[in-house]
Amino acid sequence: MKRYITDCNHDCPSFKPIVESITQNGAPNDAQVIFSKRNTVYTMMIGDEKLNIKAFRLPNIVNAFIYTTLRKSKAYRSYQNACKLIDLGFLTPKPIGYGEERDGIKLCHSYYISQHIEALNMRNWQDKPDCEPLLRAFAKEIVRLHHAGVWHKDFSPGNIIYTGNSTDGYKFYYIDLNRMQFGIKSRNKLMSMFRAINLNPAETERLARYYAEEVGENPDNVIPEALKQLEGYFKEQRRKRWFKSLFKKGKK
250: pLDDT confidence band, cut at 50, 70 and 90?
A: low
**In the chain, which residues fall in CATH 1.10.510?**
120-238
247, pLDDT greater than 90: no
Q: What is the pLDDT of residues 216-244, one digit of tens each?
A: 999 999 999 999 999 999 999 999 888 77
| Ramachandran angles phi, psi of 38, nearest 5° | -70, -45
Give the burial class of 251: count Cβ atoms within 10 A of its Cβ; 0-12 exposed, 13-18 middle, 19 or more buried.
exposed
Interval 37-58 mean pLDDT: 96
- CATH superfamily, domain at 2-115: Phosphorylase Kinase; domain 1 (3.30.200.20)
Percent of the chain scored above 70 by pLDDT?
Answer: 98
For residues 113 and 53, the answer to whether their CB atoms sit within 8 Å is: yes
At 161, is the pLDDT very low, low, confident or very high (cuts 50, 70, 90)?
Answer: very high
The rounded distance, in Å, linking the Cα atoms of 91 and 169 is: 14
Neighbours of 3 (CB within 10 A): 9
Give the whole-number percent of the chain exceeding pLDDT 90: 94
> How far apart, in whole angstroms, are the C-alpha atoms of residue 179 and residue 155?
10
Predicted local confidence at residue 163, as pLDDT: 98
For residues 147-176, average pLDDT: 97
Nearest to 85 by CA among 15, 149, 19, 16: 149
145, 90 Cβ separation under 8 angstroms: yes
**How does residue 245 score in pLDDT terms, banded at 50, 70 and 90?**
confident
Residue 252 pLDDT greater than 70, yes or no: no
pLDDT per residue as tens digits for the range 169-189: 999 999 999 999 999 999 999
Domain 120-238 class, CATH top level: mainly alpha
- Asked whether the predicted pLDDT for residue 192 surpasses 70, the reply is yes
Tell me the per-residue pLDDT of 60-105, one tens digit each, with 9 for 90 and over: 999 999 999 999 999 999 999 999 999 999 999 999 999 999 999 9
Strand-strand pairing, 180-181 and 49-56:
unpaired
Read off the pLDDT of each residue in 26-54 and give the average, rounded to a whole number: 95
Mean of the per-residue pLDDT values of the chain: 96
Please give the average per-residue pLDDT across 11-20, as a whole number.
Answer: 96
Confidence band for 248, pLDDT divided at 50, 70 and 90? low
DSSP letter string, 69-94: HTS--HHHHHHHHHHHHHHTT-B-SP
pTM reported for the whole predicted model? 0.93
Distance CA 153, CA 75 (A): 16
User: In a 3-state reduction of DSSP, which class is residue 47?
Assistant: coil
Which pLDDT score is estimated for 249?
A: 63
Residue range(s) of every CATH 3.30.200.20 domain in the chain:
2-115
